[in-house]
Structure 1
């Protein structure tokens, strides 16, 4: 039954993608170009090739495809997914504009009076023929300034009529399609620039009731969802390390989803993490993507780089306990979160800060008396309106919220999964400054 359900879901998604691509082709290519023209042929080829690249980018990482080929497929394939989203949204908005523009053009055309030819009135002509007087009708008046029309020229000498202007429907299709293309591709480009530029630093003050005065002002640099892979590589890691080190934190918390690939392929891209600097070191917990990429190997590798993995465990820091739990995706390997091991026997008079990749474990954190949970996973939605979808499965999508006596902070993450594009959810590194109420 599970296999059947997955097959039906996959078929539904595939049918939706076909319909969306058909709609985008029609509005951007079919309605705006003429049959057999070069733009029509090029647009049709793109309508077949781009979705194939996207499918290749999505499946190549899990099918043993050579890493160089993954990189070749990833850039155009993933970028097209983001572009498809915003082209579709822009074209749907254009459907509202299309009838209004057609009506406006029709009204303007109807209000333009046709130029009427001015004529000179003619008097009847009286001709005397002997004893008979005959009154003859005058010849048809010619427009002012015109000379009498010459005799009709032979048909072969008649000049060809001027080519007709594009129809109103074609003009509207091109205007709306062009505007949608500029809006959709411009949004995608700006979102990609935001990711490649690197995350911005945010600062958040979090008061903890049990934090002693000696730990007031303790700064934790929270980094999540770096997503090293075929698109974001070593340069991306170095930008993040430089940004974190500039904040001069007391402790660094790397909260999962570091990679999308094996140690063999991405080990060199992760090497700059060895340059992270803080007074109490850098700590790491797994995210769901580590379990798609060989979590055990990555835990060992980040340890070699100088980070301290917290696998359902905790350490005592000056003034509070720092705990970490494995991601819930690890349950498939018998390595899921174990709050009892991480927090069960601790001194409840001390403040506790928990590193957990997914916000959904907040109920367990509340039950175990955690003061502050640090999470990522949501990307803040990454691609608007994805934030509304993320809200359906996460208690908090981004920012700081309180659940009973426990506070939850969710960072939007420092990278991007799939399309290297963010819209409405800029990437960030957050410096969480702990505050003592006794200070």
Structure 2
């Protein structure tokens, strides 16, 4: 991230914490002690966020990681509730007068903090639940035979997504007996030597016609080439602007490098995304399954022979209402959608992901293993 963006982010987080203090703490009590306690809590939360973002790429104790990362989720939930309280307070202020607001404010703030406590607890619970198997039937034109595809994205293998959790995801995927397994990026989220034991569990994935992997944006933060070699050594086919023709199935499997490769030193390397190169060896009479970590790759399409795009990245929003910010950057949030490009119509399926980023929290959202039933279009 450029230094200017880091400074802007830092200032924004400071100002939003100040907003949380003024809305949720300043008027909850006339006691100076309560107000000072509020300042302390807000400062500690801000400080923990900064420390987490600084140490995020390092090896960290799981308990410390959980505490520090959770402050991000607590901040986001508290900010959302603070905005709601602000709107309610303004409505009471202009509708019934300041005296009414003064009388009701302590009760409103007490309710607000109860809501925050409930939502934070709920977010931990939802994230801890076993990923749901989300099944989706998709019609593909010119497909020779039906195929069952497991789409696993956004595992973010790190301190908390450890060997035991990865093994459970592998077992859950294998129980579906898929024809093909797709690893749709952001699978590894730390330096390989730190997470190698967890990553090796992916070697246990079993699919009739193979497992295929594409890079996500997070793999670009680390030893990217080492990660690619390690996955290849596990028998997983890595696709970096490449296409494989499965003639026995009558289908192309294409995988593009992530859009993160457009930045910095990567943009002149083989890890820069290239749609033309990705599709150049595809067989035009076969339908093409195009794997891209980020859904917004479809904005770069212009009439290519692509039947279905498989993506992740969005996490389904992970913590409501972050969903709305995701929609600013990405064309869709989750699920199956149709889109038009050039003179072609294609489909895209976006998985909410089987893991999480940062805080082990999800709110009004759940983890998923996508089980796609591809069938010939009638």
TM-score class, shorter-chain normalisation, is: 0.7 to 0.9
Residue number in structure 1 paired with 2:258: 327
* Paired residues of 2:245 and 2:282 also in contact (CA < 8 A): no
Residue number in structure 2 paired with 1:347: 283
SS at match of 1:374: strand
The CA deviation string for residues 22-76 of structure 1, in whole angstroms up to 9 with x for no partner, is: 3333444433345454x555443322222111111112134xx4x125x454322
Looking at structure 2, the residues matched to 381 and 295 of structure 1 have their Cα atoms a distance apart, in angstroms, of 26
Residue number in structure 2 paired with 1:426: 366
How much does 1:357 deviate? 1.1
* Paired residues of 1:198 and 1:414 also in contact (CA < 8 A): no
Residue number in structure 1 paired with 2:177: 248
- Give the alignment partner of residue 286 of structure 1, picking from 215, 230, 241: 215
Q: Which moved more, 1:323-332 or 1:10-19?
A: 10-19
Shift in alpha-carbon separation, 1:88–1:208, aligned structure 2, 3 A: same
* Paired residues of 2:243 and 2:282 also in contact (CA < 8 A): no
* Paired residues of 2:45 and 2:75 also in contact (CA < 8 A): no
1:415 aligns with 2:350: no
How much does 1:17 deviate? 2.3
User: Aligned Cα RMSD in Å?
Assistant: 2.7
Residues matched between the structures, number: 365
* Paired residues of 1:344 and 1:368 also in contact (CA < 8 A): no
1:87 aligns with 2:78: yes
1:382 aligns with 2:318: yes
SS at match of 1:426: coil
Residue number in structure 2 paired with 1:52: 47
Residue number in structure 2 paired with 1:232: 161
- Give the alignment partner of residue 306 of structure 1, picking from 235, 248, 252: 235
- Give the alignment partner of residue 15 of structure 2, picking from 15, 19, 24: 19
* Paired residues of 2:127 and 2:367 also in contact (CA < 8 A): yes
Residue number in structure 2 paired with 1:115: none
- Larger RCO (alpha carbons 8 Å, 6+ apart): 2
Normalised to the residue count of structure 1, the TM-score between the two structures is: 0.75
1:437 aligns with 2:377: yes
Looking at structure 1, the residues matched to 73 and 56 of structure 2 have their Cα atoms a distance apart, in angstroms, of 19
How much does 1:277 deviate? 1.7
- Give the alignment partner of residue 194 of structure 2, picking from 265, 275, 283: 265
* Paired residues of 1:53 and 1:73 also in contact (CA < 8 A): no
SS at match of 2:60: helix
Gaps of 5+ in 1: 108-167
Residue number in structure 1 paired with 2:67: 76
How much does 1:100 deviate? 4.4
* Paired residues of 1:320 and 1:352 also in contact (CA < 8 A): yes
Looking at structure 2, the residues matched to 351 and 321 of structure 1 have their Cα atoms a distance apart, in angstroms, of 6
Shift in alpha-carbon separation, 1:206–1:41, aligned structure 2, 3 A: same
Looking at structure 1, the residues matched to 99 and 44 of structure 2 have their Cα atoms a distance apart, in angstroms, of 38
* Paired residues of 2:338 and 2:348 also in contact (CA < 8 A): yes
Looking at structure 2, the residues matched to 96 and 388 of structure 1 have their Cα atoms a distance apart, in angstroms, of 18
1:179 aligns with 2:108: no
Looking at structure 2, the residues matched to 45 and 230 of structure 1 have their Cα atoms a distance apart, in angstroms, of 28
- Give the alignment partner of residue 220 of structure 1, picking from 146, 149, 152: 149
Looking at structure 1, the residues matched to 294 and 139 of structure 2 have their Cα atoms a distance apart, in angstroms, of 22
Looking at structure 2, the residues matched to 23 and 388 of structure 1 have their Cα atoms a distance apart, in angstroms, of 20
Looking at structure 1, the residues matched to 309 and 301 of structure 2 have their Cα atoms a distance apart, in angstroms, of 7
Looking at structure 2, the residues matched to 95 and 266 of structure 1 have their Cα atoms a distance apart, in angstroms, of 43
Residue number in structure 1 paired with 2:331: 395
